[in-house]
Amino acid sequence: MRFLTSGESHGPKVNAIVEGFPSNLPVNKERMQEELFKRQGGYGRGRRMQIEKDTFEFGSGVRHGKTLGSPIMMEVNNDDFKHWVNIMGAEPITKEQEAEMKRIITKPRPGHADLVGGMKYNHRDLRNILERSSARETTARVAVGALCKELLHALDINITSRVTKIGRVTDDGAYDYAELSTKNTESSVRMISQEATKEAEAAIDAAKKAGDTLGGVVEVIVENPPVGLGSHVHYDRKLDAKIARSIVSINAFKGVEFGMGFKMAETPGSSVQDEIKFDSEDGFYRSSNNLGGFEGGMTTGMPIVVRGVMKPIPTLYKPLMSVDIETKEAFTATIERSDPCAVPAASIVAEHMVAIEVAEAILDKFPSDDFGDLKASLELYNKRLSEY
Ligand code: EPS
């Protein structure tokens, strides 16, 4: 399976195209749509999300509620485009019109792709960079992830996410999966504790008032993954490594940890490794899950637990110093509309990136044109493992 996304933040559309998905998988479009709506939410989002209604349409690959096996195209209209037709239109414009546009950006924002992208792609209007580097693109990734979640759902594999930190507010206590997957939707910041939710809201309000932004940590949990996805035999087949790459590919994400994570550095080996147990009903299992569901780059069958850290969004209402690319003079960076905190939304994106990696690992291990064949292969494999 492979996928591509396209689209600029204020252009006409955001699109995704998925190739290599099996046929005859039932897809619940409403359930998928809910995932896209969830990405739009969360305390700390800016005004843009009031403009957009991220309803998606299938452009190909799905007929009468089932996949065909052909490429699946999903598209979302940018409702804001109607305000940006002149600025973002595909038609050529004259030099005079260019001068009139007034939205040409020459003062790159520190921490954003603006300056390096402008230098590399040889653009003197940095809008040509920021339109694509915008997190608007993650809409398309969530559409792909939602499709992958349909595959996981049909195989009884569950996936959810939560926010464990916003600024200095931490909520990382242990919860069981069922509790987590309902409580996270009740919190405006996708935390579990109500007190932490209130504290996080206050911290976001304070950052907003100060013209600043807040980062945080998100956690994704996959329950009931098959044993042995990924492989120890080669670096680029390790599934934890692929997941790490996918998490860091999300806009503003800077680090990843699995299970006990960076605390492993200060913990003796005897308290880090998960002891192996066996019972006749469930077969092999681990007595703890400090390694977050991976040994040797392969799933152990324990839940996958992965966290990612998001830096505070670099677009600031009280901007930092920058240099104008035309005059070379020092200026404060351009102020663009921004979200004071997008960590709750980013937890949805992370969840969907992990869903994509797990679905892809399943399709790699059980290559099938037809979903029924895939399911039968997985069942046969599980039967063999149960006799191991
Ligand atoms: C973004 C800036 C804001 C965000 C946007 C990402 O958009 P705008 O400049 O139109 O106000 O709301 O996020 C989304 C559009 C989205 O769908 O998540 C940025 O500069 O990255």
Residues 268-318: tens digit of each pLDDT: 999 999 999 999 988 999 999 999 999 999 999 999 999 999 999 998 888
d(CA 165, CA 181): 17
Domains parsed from the chain with CATH numbers: 2-386 (3.60.150.10)
Stated pTM of the model: 0.97
| Ligand 1 midpoint to CA 9 (Å) | 7
Helix axes 371-386, 343-365, angle to 10 degrees: 80
Cα of 335 vs centre of ligand 1, distance in Å, is 13
Instruction: Please answer whether residues 331 and 324 qualify as being in contact, where contact means their C-beta atoms are separated by less than 8 angstroms.
Output: yes
Tokens coding 89: 């239109």
User: What's the mean pLDDT in 346-361?
Assistant: 98
Q: Check whether 324 has a pLDDT greater than 80.
A: yes
Ligand-binding site membership of 204 (annotated): no
Mean pLDDT within 171-188 = 90
Residues with CB under 6 A from ligand 1: 9, 46, 48, 80, 134-136, 139, 315, 336-339
Residue whose CA lies nearest to ligand 1 atom number 1: 134
| 43-99 pLDDT tens trace | 999 899 999 999 999 999 999 999 999 999 999 999 999 999 989 999 998 888 877
Helix (H) or strand (E) run with residue 374 in it? helix 371-386
Which atom of ligand 1 is found nearest the CA of 80?
10
Residue 133 CA: which ligand 1 atom is closest?
21
Q: What is the pLDDT of residue 191?
A: 97
